[in-house]
Amino acid sequence: MTTEIISPHLRPESKHLRDLESESLHIIREVVAEFDRPGLLFSGGKDSAVLLHLALKAVRPAHLPFPIVHIDTGHNFPELLAFRDRTVGRLGLDLVVGSVDDAIASGRILAPAGADISRNRLQTPVLLETILKGRYTAVFGGARRDEERARAKERVYSLRDEFGQWDPRNQRPEVWNLYNGCINPGQHMRVFPISNWTELDVWRYIAEEQIELPEIYYAHERQVFERDGMLMALSSLMQPGHGETVGTRTVRYRTVGDMTSTAAVASEARTPEDVITETLAMRISERGETRADDRSTDAAMEDRKREGYF
């Protein structure tokens, strides 16, 4: 019998969410117990919002015993940065920012010419630099195995070398719920507590737990233009090219990365429940629909992960 319900929308038909939630809490607690310096990658997107929510539950009623780390590409949606700062303020979190702009300004990395070039690749060196500087031994990420086929093969504990590289042919076997957190000097672990969640699981959990997200995840009016079949937001970074016309549409975002590489989808979904209904009807994967960065080749994600992407 339940005496006090913290999650008011807990429903018996979502028993599977509760099992996934417990699995994620188990993973987070293993890391907190076994690693001296964890950090949590927080992009402000829905997966990292869920991850943060789970991390808070894992240590409740204590404060989060580690910082959240944001890799700011300098091409973020302003709504995302506002959400990040709001969240940090509300929860009293420790925020560490790794800035791609700073890295470019100081000459540590070279910016490709053109404002609308994706900074996805540039994130990787800045992420590594930030991990090194913070001396993090474990870094939580919100990646899910259903997102992409290289991810489908990645362990929950993904060992990375000095260069942050993932070696898919040399992964440690991961049996039962016994995670091996031993690392050599210079190595670190990327840990993915929501590996087994699907896009739909994430949305159902957001609905049940009433997790706040940046407003751009829900239908809103926006000036967009069409490029390669995708709806790109008009901004100082993204201007229509020849033959591309700008129009106001009702859209939302399914994933949120760089403004230059994330597309919106036409949608009327204004609540998590609406999004669930729409997702159930939709038959296009989120990365395929909205991420220009993953459409370049068959193995785009695999290549980026090998180089240290999360």
Partner 1 sequence: MDLLRIATAGSVDDGKSTLIGRLLFDSKSLDDDVLAAVEDASRRHHGDYVNLALVTDGLRAEREQGITIDVAYRYFSTETRKFILADTPGHVQYTRNMVTGASTAEVALVIVDARNGVVEQSRRHAVIASLLGIDHIIVCVNKMDLVGYDESVYEAIQAEFAELMAEIGVRDLTTIPMSALHGDNVVEPSANMSWYNSEPLLRLLEQVPVRQGLDDLPLRLPVQYVVRPHRAEHHDYRGYAGSIASGVLRVGQRVSILPSGHESVVTAIEAPWGLVEEASAPDAVTVRIADDLDITRGEMFCAVDDPPQTTQEIEAVVCWMDDRSALRRGDIYRIKHTTRSAKAMVTGINARFSIVSLCGEPDVNSLDLNEIGQVSLKISVPLACDDYRRNRVSGSFILINEATNATVAAGMIGEPQFSFARSER
C-alpha triplet 175, 176, 182: angle, nearest 5°: 55
Is residue 145 within the footprint of partner 1 (CB under 8 A)? yes
Is residue 33 within the footprint of partner 1 (CB under 8 A)? yes
Distance, in Å, from the CA atom of 109 to the CA atom of 134, rounded to the nearest integer, reads: 19
3-state secondary structure of 89: helix
Q: Report the residue number, 77 or 205, with the smaller CB distance to partner 1.
A: 205
CB of 299 to partner 1, least distance (A): 5
Binding test (CB under 8 A) with partner 1, winner from 106, 107, 176, 236: 176
Binding test (CB under 8 A) with partner 1, winner from 91, 162, 163, 177: 177
The contact mask relative to partner 1 for 282-301 (x = CB under 8 A, - = no) is -xxx--xx--------xx--
User: 243: how many CB neighbours lie within 10 A of its CB?
Assistant: 7
User: 281: how many CB neighbours lie within 10 A of its CB?
Assistant: 7
3-state secondary structure of 188: strand
Binding test (CB under 8 A) with partner 1, winner from 108, 133, 135, 149: 149
Give the footprint of partner 1 on residues 265-284 (CB under 8 A).
Answer: 283-284
Cis peptide before 61 (omega within 30 of 0): yes
Q: Report the residue number, 85 or 273, with the smaller CB distance to partner 1.
A: 273
Count residues near partner 1 (CB under 8 A).
64
Give the footprint of partner 1 on residues 50-109 (CB under 8 A).
Answer: 57-63
Distance, in Å, from the CA atom of 235 to the CA atom of 32, rounded to the nearest integer, reads: 40
CB of 8 to partner 1, least distance (A): 9
Q: How far is CA 63 from the centre of its chain?
A: 22
Q: Report the residue number, 163 or 246, with the smaller CB distance to partner 1.
A: 163
Q: Specify whether the CB–CB gap between 72 and 97 falls below 8 A.
A: yes
Q: Specify whether the CB–CB gap between 95 and 68 falls below 8 A.
A: yes
Distance, in Å, from the CA atom of 20 to the CA atom of 88, rounded to the nearest integer, reads: 25
Q: Report the residue number, 214 or 257, with the smaller CB distance to partner 1.
A: 257
30-38, 125-133, 220-228, 239-247 -> range binding partner 1 (CB under 8 A)? 30-38
Residue 25, judged by CB atoms within 10 A of its CB (0-12, 13-18, 19+), counts as: middle
Residues in contact with partner 1 by CB under 8 A are: 1-7, 10, 13-16, 18-23, 25-26, 29-30, 32-33, 57-63, 145-146, 149-150, 152-153, 168-169, 171-178, 180, 182-184, 195-196, 198, 200-201, 283-285, 288-289, 298-299, 302
